[in-house]
Amino acid sequence: MMTLPASSTQHVGLHAVHGIVHPTADQHLEGRKQLSTSVLQGSSILVTGGTGSFGKAFIRHALDNLAPKRLVIFSRDELKQYEVRQLFNDDPRLRWFIGDIRDERRLLRAMHNVDYVVHAAALKQVDTAEYNPFEFVKTNVLGSQNVIEACIDSGVKRVVALSTDKASSPINLYGATKLTADKLFVTGNHYAAAYDTRFAVVRYGNVMGSRGSVIPFFRKLAESGASLPITDLRCTRFFITLPQAVKMVVDTFDMMQGGELLVPRIPSMKVTDLAQAIAPGAAMHDVGLRPGEKLHEEMISPEEGRRAVIVHGGKYYVIQPDLATWGYQPPVDGVPVPEGFHYRSDSNDQWHSQDDIRKIIESDL
């Protein structure tokens, strides 16, 4: 990887390549496909927030497909660590660190001889953030900077940070902290320009089957014959499955130079269609948007769209850094998006039908 002196600047342009393949709505389960090779193969990996829904799915994928030398789980809840240890039968490749990303020294200890880091730790509840704003700042912003510092000082090769659609044009405190974290990780490549460490970000929408998912909540209400509460009957959302999210992170490690913000090209769905797919014929009622909640979600703003290209045969968008000092080059397979492009759940060109949603729900998420 070429590294430019920190004093130089490079403005990123666009490369156009013809022959893009547009994915279909039927590809929503392709995250289950095993990768043949990956830079993660046989390496030492650390996952912050590794006992959450994504962390558990990543652990399973890594143990089954990546033959890790060591997989370090860094999280702050000892009970969840105990439960996940039981889930994976105390696999000897797993290492367990109790710690908080607010504690940089603990991160440094955990990252000793680690090759790759997945940063999944965050506070995530939108309404909770509105009542506890600085706690979210301390974890999502200051904690992210601690991860960046520790990765550089420990000689970690590549880092992928997980983000959210709420970081695009944020209207709530949670989204604002995640946007700040995204900026920290992208610009962390400036900070690390003279070192080997590189950072990238993945941004995706709601995760089907994750902890706190609406699916079991709707099922329970439907079984009792109750009406399903919908924040607004017009709401649309991006949804991704856990296998898709894991595969996207692994793909990012394999394709990244540092500075990319990857967004999956996935279908949208109406929240009412999700409800009817879970409980066909159930009554629904409008309860109104919660504080800080959007009617429609966005993953790429019009401003970000000016720096976006489509890569990987139409599978992902890459929001490129607009100023790079570490040798970033536009992806050779990058296809520029149209002028004025933005990516919102209500104006998406791909949609899941109720049958599509039902098929996903009936699969093992």
What is the pLDDT tens value at each position of the chain, 365 positions in all? 333 333 333 334 333 333 333 334 344 444 444 445 899 999 999 999 999 999 999 999 999 999 999 999 999 999 999 999 999 999 999 999 999 999 999 999 999 999 999 999 999 999 999 999 999 999 999 999 999 999 999 999 999 999 999 999 999 999 999 999 999 999 999 999 999 999 999 999 988 876 667 888 898 898 999 999 999 999 999 999 999 999 999 999 999 999 999 999 999 999 999 999 999 999 999 999 988 899 999 999 999 999 999 999 999 999 999 989 999 999 999 999 999 999 999 999 999 999 999 998 888 55
Residues in contact with 175: Cβ distance below 8 Å, sequence separation at least 6, in sequence order? 126, 164, 166, 167, 168, 292
Residue 281: CB atoms within 10 A of its CB come to 6
User: At 112, is the secondary structure helix, strand, or coil?
Assistant: coil
Coil vs helix vs strand at 47: strand
Domain boundary assignment for the chain:
25-206+239-266+299-343
166 among known catalytic residues: yes
Q: CATH for 25-206+239-266+299-343, among 3.30.930.10, 3.40.50.720, 3.30.470.20, 3.20.20.70?
A: 3.40.50.720
Question: Which of 218, 361, 207 is closest to 285 using CA atoms?
Answer: 218
Q: Catalytic residue among 56, 80, 124, 166, which? A: 166
Q: Write the DSSP string, 118-145.
A: EE------HHHHHHSHHHHIIIIIIHHH
**Structure tokens belonging to residue 146:** 């601690």
- pTM: predicted TM-score of the whole model, two decimal places: 0.89
Neighbours of 213 (CB within 10 A): 16
- Nearest Cα neighbor of 126 from 158, 90, 174 is 174
Cα–Cα nearest to 67, from 96, 45, 100, 48: 45
DSSP annotation of 69:
S
